[in-house]
Structure 1
């Protein structure tokens, strides 16, 4: 069994720089309403069985092993579940996704991938190099598949019998490149691990925490923990394949205890070359096919353009978030356009029933900043002040209030 070896004594900072570079392409949207959903994605592998006896390895060496992992051919099954303490997003995700609505498509990947932000899911994945990938989300009697093959990206929702199709731009000159599969909610333990390691700095402890077996393969366990108090994140554990360096399982435990908020892992994995048929797709007979260009054209209609202009006008003067603190305790301060916050409880500006509904969702708090309401999940919390500022981060209620007081 590998020793509990601290990364800070083995060049932790140097190793994570390499990972940061490789993780740059995994950018997750950060928005007040969707931050919790967008930064999380996957859960229990149900595959741990025994602690294999492996050669000792330092945390620095294990981080470098992840960074050097270049497995481009694999297939397998990933068990996915997310418990943020909020209602399941389910089909509502598509309502907020680009292209959603009467002119949209239920097969749009943005709509379907957001569903991974809540509930439990089983995924089948396959990859053969940078130009061929397939991800399927298995439902009860239905399946959604996203297939990337060369210049084509296909999305197919068997429940609605709808197809989404996108292609790379032609004639765009050298370096135009191929169409990449849409990014957003992380869909594999590797993506989640690279995001976590990219954020590691001197506020983070990174150690080797023994060994495990995941999907029948020997693995080392990398333990990532905040050194600071006040974070809602207790720890992140990454099970790393001892042979290939590929993250096989990712577990995020909240500091408040209880079941994992994120626990993603392979239940089966095979590093053989997948069959070519895995990446071929032909729209089924009778399926409604929506081209990505059609969705873009619909978004450019006059009504949508008018709405966009109004939205831009409302956002005039918005300077973006101000980051308070650092590391695991970083809090984003966002000033709402026009300074519009929630009506004060005794202002009379809100009906009593509406006020009771908001009170049930959040906690009223006060401090040097004034007063406001904290809306909480198991991982990300947000404070909306009565004067129209928002403070959001993976921190406790007390840490949010402290950040608001500091900003004041």
Structure 2
């Protein structure tokens, strides 16, 4: 693994989730929307019934975090590998094709110029494929798993779940209004943090009136009228996709890595309290709700092994602060301490520095 691999592992999930970490909404029943004037709770509960949906569609993702475009030279990007991929996620627009046949069959195709990345799940088998690197990874999931795939490619449902988990006394939820997304009639609700300590201004969710499928999710930063991060369907067709789309065989000569998680123990979420410590290298979480801070341990961001290009970019994007270097975008901040810890959250840099002491 490249020394720069910590970058997407820390920044991308925090941006996508908006650093929202809170108890799940209790007793959200899977019931149809009631009448022509549902409550916000009705709209949120309807998302649960979309888990078995069958559809094909095209997603568009846009980001406006105040970051500069990636520097390029005569040969293209001056970065390599995961660091370049993570920064591209944060500074450029992307589109993806999505095919879903219920909770256990999904395929996501991200097509770039002369390259394609695929994520395919068929039951307990998950494949990832990078045509540019000619690398495939095969993961065998526990037989009873019901978890969605997560690899940095995000759908509206992913962000919707994070936002739903954040509904608690710290959040104001608007009454549903009517909108249309990808030709589908939808209910839109807005979640607004009450906390003054977060960079998140609001989260907007548009949910299909008939199926409960989240069609659009947007995170707005405080003081901005346009979304800092948005993912939405631009086209959508209901019905079962062709079964062949969920089969994958790596091409001849491809490098294949296998990971068997079929016997992996189910690590439950952390207990009550303001601080939770995860296992297997996962972040330690401090704080609550919209102001949650994720921390990775010392040595995670070992800058001593970075190449010249990566070090130059790091210095361009970050500024020196007490005890390390940091970057604050419109929506998320990341703090790299001198001892190699990484702290991130949808909070100002000053909050990360204080939490690190």
**TM-score, normalized by length of structure 2?**
0.68
Q: 1:35 to 1:277 in 2, by over 3 A?
A: same
Find 2:291's aligned residue among 312, 318, 329.
329
Q: Determine which structure has the larger helix proportion and give its number.
A: 1
Unaligned runs of 5+ in 1: 1-30, 43-53, 98-110, 170-174, 297-318, 343-354
Ranges in structure 2 where 5+ consecutive residues have no aligned partner: 1-5, 18-34, 261-280, 304-310
Normalized per residue, which structure has more strand? 2
CA spacing shift, 1:216–1:236, aligned 2, 3 Å: same
Query: Could you say which residue in structure 2 is the equivalent of 1:39?
Result: 14
Counterparts of 2:222 and 2:119, CA distance in 1: 35
Mapping of 1:235-314 within 5 angstroms?
A: 235-257=202-224, 259-284=226-251, 287-293=252-258
CA RMSD of aligned residues (A): 4.4
The count of aligned residue pairs is: 307
Q: 1:77 to 1:260 in 2, by over 3 A?
A: same
Structure 1 contact 341–385 (Cα < 8 Å) conserved? no
8 A contact 1:36–1:84 mirrored in 2: no
What SS does structure 2 have at the residue aligned with 1:196? Answer: helix
CA distances 1:182-210 after superposition (whole Å, capped 9, x unpaired): 52325210111001211232211122352
Decide whether the 8 Å contact of 2:70 with 2:87 is kept in 1: no
Asked if 1:166 corresponds to 2:138, the answer is yes
- Is the CA contact (8 Å cut-off) linking 1:232 and 1:255 kept in structure 2? yes
CA distance in 2, matches of 1:386, 1:112: 25
User: Structure 1, residues 331-360: CA drift from partner, whole Å, max 9, x if none?
Assistant: 3566746xx999xxxxxxxxxxxx999775
2:117 matched residue in structure 1: 144
Instruction: Please name the residue that 2:348 is paired with.
Output: 396
- Preserved contact between residue 53 and residue 101 of structure 2 (Cα < 8 Å): yes
For the 8 Å contact 2:53–2:211, the answer to whether it is kept is no
The structure whose Rg is larger is 1
Q: In structure 2, the residue corresponding to 1:328 is in which secondary structure?
A: coil
Q: Is 1:77–1:267's contact at 8 Å kept on the other side of the alignment?
A: yes
C-alpha contact (below 8 Å) 1:336/1:388 kept by paired residues: yes
Q: C-alpha distance in 2, partners of 1:157/1:33?
A: 16
Equivalent residues in 2 for 1:1-400 (5 A)?
A: 34-41=9-16, 55-86=36-67, 87-88=69-70, 95-96=81-82, 116-150=89-123, 152-159=125-132, 162=134, 164=136, 166=138, 168=140, 176-177=143-144, 182-257=149-224, 259-284=226-251, 287-293=252-258, 324-332=286-294, 336=298, 361-364=317-320, 373-383=325-335, 391-400=343-352
| Change beyond 3 A, Cα 1:400–1:270 | same
Identify which of structures 1 and 2 has the higher relative contact order when contacts are C-alpha pairs closer than 8 Å and 6+ apart.
2
Deviations 1:268-294 (A, max 9, x none): 11111112232234555xx4233323x
